[in-house]
Structure 1
């Protein structure tokens, strides 16, 4: 192993340990990166924006904000959209808990040192039965929820080592006939350390305005007059802002095998911090195996895993990716994605 590779391995281990100290609520160093997420659990809406949209990220412990390119980069760090200087599109589907589908579609267009992007993320519950304490088998009513965000991104390559980017995003949720709308921004930075195979990234996502409710809710309840209760006094909801600090290192490279290690701390405004580690083995520039683990994520059971295939046709690259995550109480999550680099 060369000195540079050795330094990469040691650096990512030390940084991962440092992240772990920061993310430990009992550690004295917590004051360096304060978080009040645990105390604010349940106060934010738009929770669908916290669900990984791409299989590679999910398989690697949500730790790839410093090593992600193409259209999938618009979710984690808009600065990464200009890394390759190529245009591309991505489509993914997540089979979430109780078979609720989440879909993601994104595209980027590169012009010289600028890259522009559009992204769309949506979750729909479908029709579900209304149950109450008085009617546990159902009231005869049904409800559905629909959630989506739409973003426009610009990213610029300032030098070979430094990129930055920003996204303006529109959010909407329809919950039992109540609509919440707001706007927010993502912005991020990427730095490729010269002469050593280490990369750093910083990003802030979902930073924006509170959402005001529009509409009323009618619910069945026992009243003297037998009439339903109309709920009109509803509270605003907040965006789940998150701060991301990530690092990636090429720990081994050869003509046939490449091994990548990643680590990332994600600091939420409405949840405890999460610390992710990931590994990716790439064989013959074509086949990928991935695994990872996320500390601080509730109910996770074992490491995440996944894989992918990359095919080249002329100057175009086609990627097919899959990931699998298992949880103790809620079951499994499967993700599939297709990506083209033009």
Structure 2
């Protein structure tokens, strides 16, 4: 019965993603793009090859099924992204592993965006051609609840539901005859859903995973509707040192490869590598193609068993300034 359930869940996700793919054969513009920004430093340093990322609460941001392999009773991840154009992201996640996974793993997560202060203008008939409308500060955030369960020693499933809100504040669209402004609110909110599976193939440490992120209804600003950045991903990963057959090796070399099908861009491939020495120090690098601005990424990390980890990622971003990511992880 369990085996039948596993295949049914896998088939359901494949049907869902196939249907999504048929609806987006042409590239489309999407909104709430902040949901597409990779947050975790370790994952970012490895070229965003994240489908088979496991063992931490931050898996909810990439493939919630990976949370089922949590070994700690409590796991907390926090981090910050210094994004382009002086935009900053803050994120966090916490997972509870109840009764060593007997009832599954429950998690909560948040993501917030600080766009800074912007100056608004509106078209005018004066010499400058515009009129200053003052400073405004747009914001965006998402809060979510995730759940993952290992259905067998090889197969895990997971899901994540988030409430997402973006507030671009009010804007002046016209003026009354008496000169008073006519304003409209630019706020939207929506629920999004992520689904994922993770499968241990049984060959060494080879893992296979797939996920669907940002599944949601269309949203509307004033009179214009748009879709969210729906993304389907397939990925594999492995510690290639296992191929040497040395179980006492003091180093690991983890390799990840993801195939990504976003709604608003061409298909992409993410490649990532992580060299871990003595289970303490890690050096990472990754590559993404095709991509408009960013391709290469790199980073480093320090960890103490599963109790503490500190990670950093660097991504050169073409015409824009470099992107820096920092994340810290605690386990109990």
The unaligned stretches of length 5 or more in structure 1 are 1-32, 214-232
The equivalent residue for 1:322 is: 312
Shift in CA distance, 166/275, structure 1 to aligned 2, threshold 3 Å: same
The unaligned stretches of length 5 or more in structure 2 are 1-20, 171-185, 243-247
Deviation at 1:72, TM superposition (A): 1.1
The equivalent residue for 2:280 is: 286
CA distance in 2, matches of 1:275, 1:133: 43
Deviation at 1:234, TM superposition (A): 2.6
Shift in CA distance, 115/91, structure 1 to aligned 2, threshold 3 Å: same
1:45 match: secondary structure: coil
CA distance in 2, matches of 1:191, 1:297: 29
Shift in CA distance, 162/76, structure 1 to aligned 2, threshold 3 Å: same
The equivalent residue for 1:208 is: 216
| CA displacement, residues 215-235 of structure 1 (integer Å, 9 cap, x when unaligned) | xxxxxxxxxxxxxxxxxx431
2:84 is the counterpart of 1:94: no
Give the TM-score, by structure 1 length.
0.78
2:85 match: secondary structure: helix
Give the TM-score, by structure 2 length.
0.81
Shift in CA distance, 292/38, structure 1 to aligned 2, threshold 3 Å: farther
Is the 1:37–1:272 contact (alpha carbons within 8 Å) kept by the matching residues of 2?
A: no
Is the 1:129–1:138 contact (alpha carbons within 8 Å) kept by the matching residues of 2?
A: no
CA distance in 2, matches of 1:265, 1:58: 15
Shift in CA distance, 242/130, structure 1 to aligned 2, threshold 3 Å: same
The equivalent residue for 2:151 is: 158
CA distance in 2, matches of 1:288, 1:137: 53
The equivalent residue for 2:264 is: 270
The equivalent residue for 2:115 is: 125
5 Å matches for 1:151-300?
151-177=144-170, 178-213=186-221, 233-253=222-242, 254-300=248-294
CA distance in 1, matches of 2:300, 2:113: 24
The equivalent residue for 2:298 is: 305
CA distance in 1, matches of 2:328, 2:235: 24
Deviation at 1:76, TM superposition (A): 0.4
1:68 match: secondary structure: coil
Deviation at 1:110, TM superposition (A): 0.6
In the TM superposition, structure 1's runs of 4+ consecutive aligned residues that sit over 3 Å from their partners are 33-38, 131-138
| CA displacement, residues 78-125 of structure 1 (integer Å, 9 cap, x when unaligned) | 101111342200001000012211010100001132100001011121
